[in-house]
Structure formats: structure tokens, C-alpha cells
Amino acid sequence: MKSAILALADGTVFEGRAFGAEGECVGEVVFNTAMTGYQEILTDPSYKGQIVCMTYPLIGNYGINPEDIESQRPFVEGFIVKEGSPYPSNWRKSKTLEAYLQEWGIVGIQGIDTRALTKHIRDQGAMEGVISTVDSSPHSLVEKARSSPGLIGRDLVKEVTCSESFQWWQGEWRWGHGYSDDRVPTTDDREHKRVQLDLFGERTSVVGQRFQVVAIDCGIKYNILRQLVSTGCDVVVVPATTTANEILALDPDGIFISNGPGDPEGVMHLVETTRQLLGKRPIFGICLGHQILGLALGGRTYKLKFGHHGANHPVKELHTGKVEVTTQNHGFAVDIDSIPSGEVELTHVNLNDGTVEGMRHLRLPVFSVQYHPEASPGPHDSRYLFDRFVALMERNRCTREPVELLHVEGTRIRQQGSIAT
């Protein structure tokens, strides 16, 4: 088996074996603590620009299947595992994980001490790294890592957003039925023939009502779109470069701002578009969309030391005191104290480090969360947020007069290093 090297920008080097495609890749090295869901992680566009290390030691043991992808292709720059399973066992699999990585040209490494790498990143912070199967010089690879552009200030959204608008019809996956299609009448026979325990129950949205939603694609995951459809939304997905006037011309009941990769301050054009949309329609933001809203409301964002990546992060909803176990993938956070006083309130907080996980505007129909309520992969504790979005659109459906947003200054660009984590 061909050897491979992982070199970090601080000079740390790990030697292992190639896993996936041969070649070389560069990106910010982060770790993900999820035990399952590697296929969804690989195809999450939010990982553009990053090399992902899985902390669970055995990855690939259920293979790859075409139903669990979250975008049209993998977006990770590279992949790091302790041990890749060569013999997956699952009735849904179509190929091995390594074959999938080779098919898409994703360079990976296995056989290194992923615990040591994770501890190093926790101590020193996420940093640029290089995986190579073609360059055997550690010194050369360290220099390549040090000269890589990093994430700060880069517009990675333009590399993952769709090129043109499209309608999304697919709903949730159900045992025995697969993914539903909103264009086709359903024949859900679960009440008559239960083949599996229904863990999630029925959605709570009002039957018969449909809501027109424009989803701004910053790197949106398919399961977000499925959740919107299954909650009663007709969804049009638009590129992140779409103007506010073009979005409003579609006459939506609500606007959704999606997850996406990199630094939110790298997409200031989208921040300005969002600022122009505030008060015009209900808005729901997730992950990067949450950060974009924070900037549009006059606040600032900052880079976390090593980010939040995993499917087991505890988040407390402050109104109810309920603790949700959440799926997360982000390297930046909103400084809610930088938003003009009296505009927003904190709704969710991360119980690991106290960072902002959710907020809502006090006058406008606008709310957002930093984590992933569609949870693919991960727990389903937070799916109620999609129902909350529908309820917000229902309440605002008859009120289409623009609302003026007062006391919002221009975005306060952060000074790098000014906010400690």
C-alpha cells in the first residue's frame, strides 16, 4: 500500500498510508466527532476548503450508497481516518468508501494516530495542512501548508453555490418508500402495514397549506430542502449571487439562507443582499446563514479556535430550558454583543463553550441557528425549527408591507484576533 504524509503548517508531520485517490491536497485540518455519517460529511459543501479528520477509529464499515449524499459530489479537500474498512457490511451499500474517494479524486490518509492529531488541533487550533502521496519530503509539505491561502476573507460560497435557479420537490425518506416526491400523490400505507417503528411521527404543519420559499444556496444540504418540502413548502433554490429584487420578484412567503463554507465576511455581497431583505419577508438562517444574518444586522463574526464539527453537541434553548443534542459544522461564530442593543435576543447557547447557537429579531420575523436542525447525519431533536419557520410564514402571510429596520449600522468588520475564544 502506498505511503502518505500529512504535514501541518506548524511543522507537525504524520506518516501513514494512502486511503482514496493518489495525489496531493491542501486545506484547513479540522476534526469531526461523529461516529457515523461519513458519507454525509464528505458531501457537505460546508467542508469546502477543509481536510476532515474523523475521531472515531473505524470509518467506512457500512460503505457508500447513493441515497445518503447531501450534494452533487464530495466537497472535502481531503480525508483522514485511523482505519478505513475494506469490507463494508450493509444491505444498502453500492461500493466501499475508498472506491468512492478514488472515484471523486479525494486524497486521504489512514494509519496515523488520529487521537494525537485531534488533541494537537484542540491545543493549537485548526491550521492549514497538506496530505500527499506524491511528495515524500516533510519539509516541502510543511512549506506548502504554510503558503496555502487559508479561510479568512475567502469567498468559498461561489465555488459551491448552484449556477442557476431550480425547483426542489423531494421530501423526507421513509422506510419502504424512499424519498417522497411532492409532485406525486403519496400512498403512505404505514398505518396499515408497519414495517418499522416510526421514530419521528407526523409533521405538525397545517395540512393543505403550501408556502413559497426561496432558498439562497450558499452550499445547501439536500436534507434541509427535504425538511422544508416535508413541512409544507414549495422551494425554489437560487444562487448566492441572486439580488434582493430578484428574490422578492418571486413573491415568496419566506426566505431561507443556507449553510455554506468558510468565512462569512468573504461573501459581503450576500450580507448586503440579506440587509435589503430584512423586514420584507420572514427569514430563517442556518449555519453560514446565521452568520450572514448577524453581519447584516450590524454585528460581527469571529473565528473559533477549532470549530464545532460533530453530531453530539449539546445546545440549550433558553426559552424552555430544553437541551438538544445537535449536529454542527462551522468554524466561525456570531458575536451577539456586537449587534446594536435591543435588536435581537439570544435563543440558543452551546453548553460546551457558551457560544451563540441561535438568535431571533425582536421586531422582525427573522430567526437563525448556528447548528444543523436537518441533522443529516445526527439526532433529530431540532427539527421543530422547520415547523417554527412555517408558523412564522403563516402569521405573516397577510402582512406584506415592508417593515423598516431601524438602528442597524453597517457591518462591523472584525479585527482579526480581537475576540478571544
Residues belonging to the active site: 287, 372, 374
Alpha-carbon span 212 to 300, nearest angstrom: 30
Q: Tell me the H-state helices in 136-183.
A: 138-146
End-to-end CA distance of the chain: 41
DSSP 354-412: --EEEEEESSSSEEEESSBTT-SSS--TTTHHHHHHHHHHHHHTT--S-----S--S--
- 305: number of Cβ within 10 Å: 14
In the 8-state DSSP scheme, what is residue 95? Answer: B
Q: Provide the H-helix boundaries in 257-337.
A: 268-277, 288-296
Nine cell digits for residue 238: 437560487
Sheet of 356-361: strand order equals: 166-168, 233-239, 211-217, 254-257, 283-286, 366-369, 356-361, 344-350, 300-317, 323-335
Q: State which amino acid sits at residue 170.
A: Q
Pairing of strands 211-217, 254-257: parallel
Which positions ≥6 away from 177 have C-beta within 8 Å? 188
Contact 349, 314 (CB under 8 A): no
What does the DSSP 8-state code read for residue 193? -
Q: How far apart are CA 158 and CA 185, in angstroms?
A: 36
Calculate the dihedral angle through the C-alpha atoms of 19, 123, 46, 383, rounding to the nearest 10 degrees.
110
Longest dimension (CA), the chain: 65
Please tell me whether residue 35 adopts helix, strand or coil conformation: coil
The grid coordinates of residue 381 equal: 431533536
The angle formed by the CA atoms of residues 28, 258 and 122, to the nearest 5 degrees, is 30
Contact 218, 257 (CB under 8 A): yes
